Amino acid sequence: MEPRDLPGAVSDVQIKPATGHPGPAVAADPAPAVESGLRRIARGDLLRVTLVVLALTVGLRLPAFFVDVFNSDETFIATQAQVVRDGGDLYREAADRKPPLVPYLYAATFEVIGTTALWSVRVVAMLTAATTAVLLAAEALLVAKGEVKAGDSIVLTIGEPMGKPGGTNTMKIVRVGEHRS
């Protein structure tokens, strides 16, 4: 059975009507799933916002691609990441004053993209910043159109193609306006 065949299946963003109780959107009648919030936004609005965000992100981050080292932290973290990739022990064979998450993210980026060049990390950072901005803009559009209000819950889902190895389905419940307080 495909996920789209399930009654009440979630796609994109679902909106919980203001019922006074916390939690994700749930359809009263399982047959008609809760209408997708992103489908309520005019696709043109979201497309325009996405294009503007991508253009601004690329424009603002582009100078970093024309220098070997944007700042010294990049090289320290990249060195730690290479130690991790080679099976070394972080903080024993390579140490810095920073917490360990970033060297592991660098190492994962190097592994996935297949290069230890710093441009790979810069591209991932650029895409992460753009994705965050687009999700915040989608929330703002939903609020502006009156589809949700502060305190409502929305469910963000990302579905990987079925039958493809290495994919993960992700679901996150977000309370509207929570990131602003």
The CA-CA-CA angle for residues 34, 43, 23, to 5°, reads: 30
pLDDT tens for 26-41 read: 444 333 333 455 555 6
What does pLDDT average to over the chain?
75
Q: What is the pLDDT of residue 124?
A: 92
Q: Give the strand pairing for 153-158 and 13-15.
A: antiparallel
Q: What is the pLDDT of residue 75?
A: 87
Q: What is the pLDDT of residue 143?
A: 85
Number of residues that make up the chain: 181
Q: What is the pLDDT of residue 82?
A: 92
